[in-house]
Structure 1
Amino acid sequence: MPAISIIVPIYNMEHLMRRCIDSLLAQTFTDYELLLIDDGSKDGSWSICQEYARKDPRVSIYHKENGGLSDARNYGLSKATGKYTIFADPDDWVSPEGLDCLYATAEREQADMTMCDLYREDEYSRHYVCQRPQSLQAEDVLKELFANIQGFTVNKLIRRDVYTRFGISYPKGIYGCEDQYTMAAILLHDIKIAYEPVAFYHYMYNSASLTRHYDERTYEMDMRVLEMFRTLLDGNPTQQLAVTYQENAVFTRAFWNGRDYYSSAAFQKRFAFFRNRVNSLEEMGVIKLCMAAACCGWYQLSVKLVFFLFETKQVIKRLKRLLF
């Protein structure tokens, strides 16, 4: 039995997945299995998986019908044999010392979940994102999950039997909150948590995420996710904090992604009530002003201004990179 199972769900990532896999195979910690789960890719991803399986005996590959990210993660968990599990996304990459640090801490503390920091970056910049919780008690970390701790599973080494012990799996049919929902489900239980103050995971920010498809089904899915959290945390003191967090997420996604769907009047009709809550969002001041204006009937103008500012910022980053 390997110490760690690394699970990488893959869907149409032939142009990005090599860097991720190469960085995982370059870990200084070597007692692991790498599970590449091809979720019905239509490009050359499966051929690349086969190539790596031939190169390294630690690589196991699985090809399945497309079922979405949660389905691929659950499939990976069903095939994993390691004492601990951790996930990686095929468009990100990791520094070589990460698993060594996480495993040593997990074993020393006999932890069910070992958390660490991470990097958030794009092709022009890198930011260190501290994930130190104020308390290592599960009930306290659950609260912070909707405040200053990210719901990612890529920076959390989790004992594999946590999933089976509590009957937890990743929720199918939703997009964007699978990690956070699953972490909340785990943190409802009195598990042992440890923290390692190191960042090794490089979460690659993709500007294309600002132009994702949005329609009424997207809004309905967001509202369903909101109700899922409300139900999951029913009777828990964290419920209202989680509901507020998810309501903010519904509004934020609509603002950033809905410019081809919402007219200014339609956006105002749906989100006018949010005007007095914009200041609570973690956005830059000028963006908050634009969001507030959108709630008052100026959505199309506001979102065009925000994207203009964003694109200008990207141009400045590119110029700095060329000049310096």
Structure 2
Amino acid sequence: MPSISIIVPIYNMEHLMRRCIDSLLAQTFTDYELLLIDDGSKDGSWSICQEYARKDARISIFHKENGGLSDARNYGLSKATGKYTIFPDPDDWVSPDGLDRLYATAEREQADMTICDLYREDEYSRHYVSQRPQSLQAEDVLKELFSTIHGYAWNKLIRRDVYTRFGICYPKGIYGCEDQYTMAAILLHDIKIAYEPVAFYHYMYNSASLTRHYDERTYEMDMHVLEMFRTLLEGNAVQPIAVRSKENAVFVRAFWNGRDYYSSAAFRQRFASFQDRVSSLTEMTVVKGCMVAACRGWYQPAIKMVFFLFGAKQLLKRVGALFHKK
């Protein structure tokens, strides 16, 4: 039985997945199995999985019908044999000593969940993001999950039997909050938590996420996710904090992704009540002002201004990177 099962769900990632897999194979920690779950890709992802499986005996590959991220992760869990699990995304990559340090801490502390730091980066910049909890008690980390601790599964080494012990799986049929929901479900139990101050994970920020499709079904899905969290945390003291956080998330997605769907009047009608909350959503003063303007009925000019400024910022990064190379 390997010490760690690394489970990578893959869907149409032929142009990005090699960097992820190569970084996993470069780990100084070697006692792991790498499960590549091809979730019905329509590009060359499966061929790349087969190529890597021929190179390294630690790699197991699985090809299944498309069922979404959660379905692929649950499938991977059903095939995993390691003591611990971790779930990298195929468009990101990891530092070579990360698993070594995570595993050492998990074993030393006999932890069910070991949290580490991460880098948030794009092709022009990198930012270190600390994920040190204020407390290692599960109920306290659950509260922080809706403020300072990200709900990602990929920067948490989790004992595999936690999922079976508490009957937890990743929720199918939703998108965007699968990780956070599952982490919340785990943290409802009195598990042992540890923290290792290493930025194992490099989360590659994709500006294309600002242009994702948005329509009424997106809003309805976000409201459905909100109700899922409300139900999951019913009777728990953190529920009001979580509900407010998810309400804010509904607003933020609509603001960033809804420019081809909402008129200024329609945005104001739906989100006017959020103008008093905006100050808690972001530290970016210009964006904060644009959000307030959107709530007051100026959504279209506000979002155009934000995208103009964002484009200008990316251009400056690009120019700076070129200048630095010279």
Specify if TM > 0.5: yes
Distance in 1 between the 2:283 and 2:58 partners?
43
Aligned to 2:155: 155
Q: Return closer, same or farther for 1:253/1:283 CA change in 2, 3 Å cut-off.
A: farther
Aligned to 1:106: 106
Distance in 1 between the 2:72 and 2:217 partners?
22
Distance in 2 between the 1:180 and 1:283 partners?
22
**Offset, 1:112:** 0.3
Distance in 2 between the 1:196 and 1:277 partners?
34
Distance in 1 between the 2:75 and 2:223 partners?
26
Aligned to 2:182: 182
The one-letter amino acid paired with 1:100 is D
Aligned to 2:237: 237
TM-score by length of 1: 1.00
Aligned to 1:279: 279
The one-letter amino acid paired with 1:103 is Y
Distance in 1 between the 2:235 and 2:117 partners?
31
User: What SS does the aligned partner of 2:183 have?
Assistant: helix
Distance in 1 between the 2:305 and 2:153 partners?
34
Aligned to 1:7: 7
Distance in 2 between the 1:219 and 1:105 partners?
41
**Offset, 1:283:** 3.9
Aligned to 2:81: 81
Distance in 2 between the 1:190 and 1:98 partners?
26
Distance in 2 between the 1:172 and 1:134 partners?
31
The one-letter amino acid paired with 1:231 is T
Distance in 1 between the 2:78 and 2:231 partners?
26
Aligned to 1:316: 316
Aligned to 1:17: 17
**Offset, 1:275:** 1.1
Aligned to 1:92: 92
Distance in 1 between the 2:250 and 2:283 partners?
15
Distance in 2 between the 1:69 and 1:168 partners?
15
Aligned to 1:71: 71
**Offset, 1:200:** 1.4
User: What SS does the aligned partner of 1:43 have?
Assistant: coil
Distance in 2 between the 1:136 and 1:208 partners?
35
Give the 5 Å matches for 1:276-315: 276-315=276-315
User: What SS does the aligned partner of 2:62 have?
Assistant: strand
Q: Which moved more, 1:126-135 or 1:279-288?
A: 279-288
Unaligned runs of 5+ in 2: none
Percent identity between the aligned chains? Answer: 84
CA RMSD in angstroms, aligned pairs only = 0.5
Distance in 2 between the 1:150 and 1:282 partners?
15
Aligned to 2:121: 121
**Offset, 1:264:** 0.6
Distance in 2 between the 1:66 and 1:127 partners?
34
The one-letter amino acid paired with 2:131 is Q
2:55 equivalent to 1:47: no
Unaligned runs of 5+ in 1: none
**Offset, 1:282:** 2.1
**Offset, 1:26:** 0.6
**Offset, 1:280:** 1.2
What are the Cα deviations for residues 1-50 of structure 1, in whole angstroms up to 9, with x where unaligned? 00000000000000000000000001000000000000000000000000
Distance in 1 between the 2:54 and 2:20 partners?
17
Aligned to 1:196: 196
The one-letter amino acid paired with 1:139 is E
What are the Cα deviations for residues 258-302 of structure 1, in whole angstroms up to 9, with x where unaligned? 000001111011001111111111240110100000011100000
Distance in 2 between the 1:149 and 1:282 partners?
16
The one-letter amino acid paired with 1:212 is R
Distance in 2 between the 1:283 and 1:206 partners?
20
Aligned to 2:258: 258
Give the 5 Å matches for 1:21-40: 21-40=21-40
TM-score by length of 2: 0.99
Distance in 1 between the 2:294 and 2:265 partners?
9
What are the Cα deviations for residues 211-259 of structure 1, in whole angstroms up to 9, with x where unaligned? 0000000000000000000000000000000000000000000000000
Distance in 2 between the 1:180 and 1:52 partners?
30
